[in-house]
Structure 1
Amino acid sequence: MGRLYGSVGRRDFLKFTGLMGAIAAMPWNTRPAWADTADMDMDEDRSLSPDEALNRLMAGNERFMHHTPKYPHQSAKRLHDVAQGQHPFATVLSCADSRVPVELLFDVGVGDLFDIRVAGNVITPEVLGSIEYAAALLGTSLVMVLGHERCGAVTAAVQDKPLPGNINAFVNSIKPALGSKHDQSAQFIETAVVSNVCYQIDQMKQQSPILADLEANGKLKIVGGRYDLDEGDVTLVA
Structure 2
Amino acid sequence: MTERPRPETVWREMLRGNERFVSGTPRHPRQDVERRGEIATAQAPRAALFGCSDSRLAAEIIFDKGLGDLFVVRNAGQVISESVIGSLEYAVAVLGASLIVVLGHDECGAVRAAIDAEASDAVALPVHIQGIVDQIAPAVQRVRVSAGVTDTADIDPQEVGRQHLRDTVGALLAASELISAEVAAGTLGIVGANYRLLEGRVVPDVAIGQL
Q: Which TM-score bucket, shorter chain as reference?
A: 0.7 to 0.9
Deviations for 1:111-149, whole angstroms, at most 9, x for unmatched residues? Answer: 000001100011111101101110111110000110001
Q: Which runs of 5+ in 2 are unaligned?
A: 145-150, 207-211
How far apart are the structure 1 equivalents of 2:98 and 2:105?
A: 23
- Give the Å deviation of 1:166: 1.7
Cross-structure match for 1:177:
139
Cross-structure match for 1:37:
none
Instruction: Report the CA distance shift for 1:169/1:52 in structure 2 as closer, same or farther (over 3 A).
Output: same
Instruction: Tell me the percent identity.
Output: 38
Higher relative contact order (CA 8 A, sep 6+): 2
How far apart are the structure 2 equivalents of 1:178 and 1:167?
A: 16
Deviations for 1:67-86, whole angstroms, at most 9, x for unmatched residues? Answer: 00011110111100110000
Q: How many residues are aligned here? A: 195
1:233 corresponds to 2:190: no
Structure 2 counterpart of 1:71, one-letter code: H
Structure 1 counterpart of 2:141, one-letter code: G
How far apart are the structure 2 equivalents of 1:175 and 1:165?
A: 15
Indicate the RMSD between aligned Cα atoms, in angstroms.
Answer: 1.6
How far apart are the structure 2 equivalents of 1:221 and 1:68?
A: 27
So what's the TM-score if we normalise by structure 1? 0.78
Cross-structure match for 1:16:
none
So what's the TM-score if we normalise by structure 2? 0.88
- Give the Å deviation of 1:177: 2.5
User: Contact 2:4–2:97 (CA<8 Å) still a contact in 1?
Assistant: no
Q: Which runs of 5+ in 1 are unaligned?
A: 1-41
Q: Which one has a larger percent strand, Structure 1 or Structure 2?
A: 2
Aligned ranges 1:18-37 → 2 under 5 Å: none
Deviations for 1:22-46, whole angstroms, at most 9, x for unmatched residues? Answer: xxxxxxxxxxxxxxxxxxxx95xx5
Runs of 4+ in 1 over 6 A off after TM superposition: none
Who wins on radius of gyration, i.e. which is larger? 1
- Give the Å deviation of 1:180: 4.2
Cross-structure match for 1:190:
158
Q: Which has the higher mean CA deviation after the structures are superposed, 162-171 or 182-191? A: 182-191
- Give the Å deviation of 1:62: 0.3
Residue 52 (structure 2) aligned to one of 95, 107, 123: 95
